[in-house]
Structure 1
Amino acid sequence: MELRHLRYFIAVAETGSLTEAAEQRLHTSQPSLSRQIRDLEDQVGASLFVRTARGVELTAAGRAFIEHARIALNQVEAAVEAARRAAQPAKQRFALGFLTGQEMNWLPDAMHVLRDELLNVDVTVSSDYSTELAEAVARGRLDVAFMRAEPDFDLAYEIVDREPLVVLMPSDHALAARDKVAVQDLAGESFIAMAGKARFLRTVVDDYLERSGVKLEPAQTVDNPAMVMSLVASTRGVVLIPSYVENLMPWSVTSRPLAGDVPTIDLAVGFSPKNQSPTLRLFLSRLDELKARHAGRHSRT
């Protein structure tokens, strides 16, 4: 008895037709399939099928035989897969997360520092809000994330950048004619504030406005960079936001640096100290190289 006999038998049993099994499942001729089934029945010593008006059906012997046949084939397939995995060990997985929009700035540099491992590691990339990234790192769904240093999670953080806040506004806004914008000039403008999922940024902005003695009442709140752009363009509002979002600006939105003592917000690499991944250790050991490459490509004047 050969494996093909079992495959042919199961195909006929599942289709209920010698012709359909031959043509659609096995890609062989119907007479050849019939011979294979007869050979199997001779070896089993019992009829496995009975012909009916609708095709063929399993006999009592066939019903007893089919489950064992399926188990045998599954075991063979499992053995083949195990052998293949042993011959070609599975690649390690390394999952990178980014605060939405930051992947445009940091992914090329992150992949560069992993260059020696890329043949042995499957790298996955995702983007999300900072709080969701922190939870994913804490739960082991991500190995490392470029995010804010969220205080509510048992994670370690390494600061990789301090991003200045800039003012976003409609491209034809009167303030766009200036090289820099003083925060006092925003008084009376329709102000877009950060919402709950961007709480870290909201705190930085609120502290800055308080230190500057400027009171801005939010006309809208938002926590998604794409929605920020839409609101700036549609409501002609202004927003204080980290400079990385300049990568996402459509033609209808522009940015200007702030005048005076410009506030910054930290971008950190967050990871779990419990994560023993060798790829994570390698990545962390090259953070200085990562920061140097990023600074070289994104030098600010």
Structure 2
Amino acid sequence: MDWLPAVMGILRSKLPSTEITIHSEDSPDLAAGLVRGKIDLAFMRPEKHSPGVQFKLLRHDPVLVFMPRDHPLAARSAIRPEDLAGQPYIGVSPVRAPTLRTAIEDFFKRNGLTIKPAHQAENLAMAISLIASTGGISLLPLYAQNLLPKTIASRPIQGAAPMVDLVIGYNEANSSPLLKFLLSKLEAIKFQASSRDGR
């Protein structure tokens, strides 16, 4: 939501006649598309086992706790790791969001937490729906705040919260002049996106 408008703005101003096709897919599918040469550029999480794919860091995103607005933990300004124990937990898919899942599991281990998901969300919309319908909590990246209904709240995690990287991915064998142009504008893209999200 922050990055695509910055890219489109640069493309429209510099290359108005270029045709752009936009796909919305999970990071593993985007990585596969980059490997096969079907996609030129992707905003994604860095995916392991993606031969020939290069990643350029855009930012580190903290993972937050998401819960119903009337949940007892929503009264706090920040959530301690130990507060998560015993809560109905909505996990994320190890197939659709492996990088996020690993970051959360590592966070649980570091804090001595044994938390098993009561439900598993296959995507962000499903996670938000499960939070609203079950009264459970979930750990999701910062950008999910942009998509919340009024009935869902988010709070930061106290201490060392799990982090996930947002990157631009591309195939190093791709010789597209358009790709090279966009990569040369990476700092301008970062500046425009950070101006939009206030970071």
TM norm structure 1 = 0.63
1:129 to partner: Cα distance:
0.8
Which residue of structure 2 lines up, in the alignment, with residue 159 of structure 1? 57
User: Is the radius of gyration larger for structure 1 or structure 2?
Assistant: 1
Partner residue of 2:165?
Answer: 266
State yes or no: 1:203 paired with 2:102.
yes
User: How far does the alpha carbon of each residue in 1:135-170 deviate from its partner, in whole angstroms, 9 at most, with x for none?
Assistant: 112222211000111111120110111101100001
What SS does the aligned partner of 1:121 have?
Answer: coil
Other-structure match for 1:45: none
Aligned with 2:169: secondary structure? strand
Cα distance in 1 for partners of 2:82, 2:196 equals 32
Could you list the runs of 5+ residues in structure 1 that have no partner in the other structure?
1-103
Displacement, 1:246?
A: 0.9
SS at match of 1:169: strand
Match of 1:146 among 29, 40, 43: 43
Q: CA deviation at 1:112?
A: 2.2
Cα deviation, residue 297, structure 1: 2.2
Does the 8 Å contact 2:2/2:196 carry over to 1? no
Candidates 92, 96, 120, aligned match of 2:17: 120
Matching residue within 194, 199, 210 for 2:92? 194
From the two aligned structures, give the one with the greater helix fraction. 1
Q: How many residues align?
A: 197
What SS is found at the alignment partner of 2:21?
Answer: strand
Identity of aligned residues (%): 40
Q: Which digits, 9 at most, give the CA deviation of each residue in 1:85-120, with x for residues without a partner?
A: xxxxxxxxxxxxxxxxxxx22111111232343322
What CA distance in whole angstroms lies between the structure 2 residues aligned with 1:216 and 1:147?
26
Q: For 1:84-99, list aligned pairs within 5 A.
A: none
Measure how far apart 1:262 and its partner are: 2.0
1:202 Cα deviation after fit: 0.5
Distance 1:229 1:222 in 2: 9
What amino acid sits opposite 1:148 in the alignment? R
Shift of 1:285: 0.5
Paired residues for 1:195-274 under 5 Å = 195=93, 196-274=95-173
When normalised by structure 2's length, the TM-score is: 0.94
Which residue identity lines up with residue 212 of structure 1 in the other structure? Answer: N
CA distance in 1, matches of 2:44, 2:121: 18
Contact 2:65 2:140 in 1 (8 A): yes
Alpha-carbon separation, structure 2, partners of 1:238 and 1:185: 11
**Greater mean alpha carbon deviation, residues 239-248 or residues 214-223:** 214-223
Matched residue type, 2:69: S
SS class of match (2:39): coil
Q: What is the identity, as a one-letter code, of the residue corresponding to 1:205?
A: I
Q: Specify which structure has the bigger relative contact order, considering alpha-carbon pairs within 8 angstroms and separated by 6 or more residues.
A: 2
How far has the Cα of 1:279 moved from its partner?
0.7
Q: Which residue of 1 aligns with 2:2?
A: 105
RMSD: 1.2
